[in-house]
Structure 1
């Protein structure tokens, strides 16, 4: 047996520390938007702004007080360090690894048939963008020959948004900027860099798996949530029967001096929370988003933010911004176990920092 095939044996504390560090939620904060995106692989876009949209709270929870929303816009629309794709902002360095898969889209037969039936429509959209873009979807005529079912109820009868989504996943069009929450589209050759390296599909898939493991730190070997394949090295975690893959650089960094943890308030769509099975297996935290539950069935609140302290989830923050009164209304701080006085002080300090970043004051129930 070679040294490379020997599994790392990790304690649960070590596994949690690896994940928290990989997600840039330890005491050593990253410096800017690009650094966060490069490490995490994506920044989720979600408009739910009970406190602030996900893309901004994800960045604030990592960078801290120096983050301003304009920095994200600059990184995407001016510097082109990030690009919008499939409901996320991703680092442009990932684009060459995604292109081989994008070129195979759509994979479902129903999608291929719709695209083939609307070949003329596709040409119309591309020609309009090439001649007149950038444009909003509402500025492009719907010349579809065949309508596609809107099973999720997101698009309505107009086929232009569906065609743009399809062409974006194929790498033929791209979002050049946003006007409010509305996307402005253009042909991809005017948005993406044109001197990108080319990868064969297998090589691109391998490198993508390595990037996912770098972002996750450690993941179940066969996970649909964090698909890392055979990237990294094998590992076991105390108390778990799972077979893990771990980033060897993250394991080596366990010997580095630990600067201690901090409190982080996480948007419900934060990347750390995405892999629910791993959350439960490693952090012993069963996270349920209550946004779509009836009010009577909610325990923590409509859009409560999990509270991470060090490498443990200790509670949930139920709060919302009232822009008219310019306050962050704290409805409840739910404690999984009673906080020590200094722990409550740390949580309240982070809430205060959040309010200051939002430009409001904190209002708690009397």
Structure 2
């Protein structure tokens, strides 16, 4: 049983998320470590998938690198709203083959078996296609729910993707282009039994977060890694032994601005317990109820969350407008310098000017 201080637990989490001073330089390498790079179009600064990569790589990150890795090199694939490394695909396949588990989803698929066959036949004959290029011939309709509109083709494609039948081959702007999975995914992938695949997935999940509560629904790692306790906490934790060993070569901290959809922020209970950071996304709050801004980016300084950056790109003026840097506690001179340097890095990456703030 590893005995960890809170400082050690935080450093493990930060290093696992590639947010320490030793910046990576490869898009695929970042995806291999993180497991998933969230896709979201909200672009007050830049879409989430690009901001997440910039937060790790810095101003040298080129957006074309992501497109190349997904659409040309096929080293990453899009699934369930995120870009993932192809190395995860064979671990996901056993669960995909038995999806769906929910009875209502099974009933909808059964009722629309003819529709399903027509969508697959259309893709086989004409793919790759956008959802808008496939006729909606559904017999049973799922009502709009705030995320999906009335077009049943989008529902069917998402269901077929979860079953491993179709895949996203690329995008036209923000619109997904679909094809048969057999023409998108590699054909020589290894095969695993379901139990073995789940065990390996848990290991990859723990690799991405470094440390997680053993029974966390936010970071489900099962029995991966090794048991640990963190000072002042009664909960049981699991720690990645490689991440624990990496503490001996800790490269130190830096300032980092995180997209509100960054994986580092996903496990809200862990944020509160290890980082004492009670993060709330204010995007969907009425304006009078916002404290930090519509899409403010948390500021990580070393292994502490110290503030929020409220900024957006002014497209007409071609500049990064910094509305506010909210400090949870007053910054010292070094912290001010680090935040200013990171804002300069952000402007350099975006290719825009930064007015005085």
1:193 aligns with 2:179: no
1:96 aligns with 2:81: no
1:144 aligns with 2:170: no
Match of 1:72 among 66, 75, 83: 66
Match of 1:28 among 22, 26, 29: 22
Match of 1:216 among 185, 195, 209: 209
Residue 169 of structure 1 aligns with which residue?
Answer: 162
Task: Report the Cα distance in structure 2 between the residues aligned to 1:254 and 1:36, rounded to whole angstroms.
Answer: 19
Residue 46 of structure 1 aligns with which residue?
Answer: 40
1:271 aligns with 2:279: no
SS at match of 1:231: coil
SS at match of 1:333: strand
SS at match of 1:234: strand
Unaligned regions of 5+ residues in structure 2, if any? none
Unaligned regions of 5+ residues in structure 1, if any? 1-6
TM-score of the superposed pair, with normalisation by structure 1: 0.96
SS at match of 2:354: strand
Residue 227 of structure 2 aligns with which residue?
Answer: 234
Task: Report the Cα distance in structure 1 between the residues aligned to 2:4 and 2:151, rounded to whole angstroms.
Answer: 53
Residue 106 of structure 1 aligns with which residue?
Answer: 100
Task: Report the Cα distance in structure 1 between the residues aligned to 2:149 and 2:342, rounded to whole angstroms.
Answer: 41
1:37 aligns with 2:24: no
Superposed CA offset, 1:146-198 (max 9, x none): 11133x22222221010000001111000000000000000000000011111
How many residues end up aligned between the 2 structures? Answer: 357
Q: CA RMSD in A?
A: 0.8
How big is the shift at 1:364?
4.1
Which residues of 2 match residues 255-294 of structure 1 at below 5 A?
255-256=248-249, 258-294=250-286
TM-score of the superposed pair, with normalisation by structure 2: 0.99
1:320 aligns with 2:329: no
Residue 4 of structure 1 aligns with which residue?
Answer: none
Residue 304 of structure 1 aligns with which residue?
Answer: 296
Task: Report the Cα distance in structure 2 between the residues aligned to 1:115 and 1:133, rounded to whole angstroms.
Answer: 22
SS at match of 1:30: coil
Task: Report the Cα distance in structure 2 between the residues aligned to 1:42 and 1:127, rounded to whole angstroms.
Answer: 30
- Which stretches of structure 1, 4 residues or longer, exceed 3 Å deviation after superposition? none
1:362 aligns with 2:354: yes
SS at match of 1:342: helix
SS at match of 1:252: helix
Superposed CA offset, 1:284-307 (max 9, x none): 111011111111111111100000
How big is the shift at 1:282?
0.3
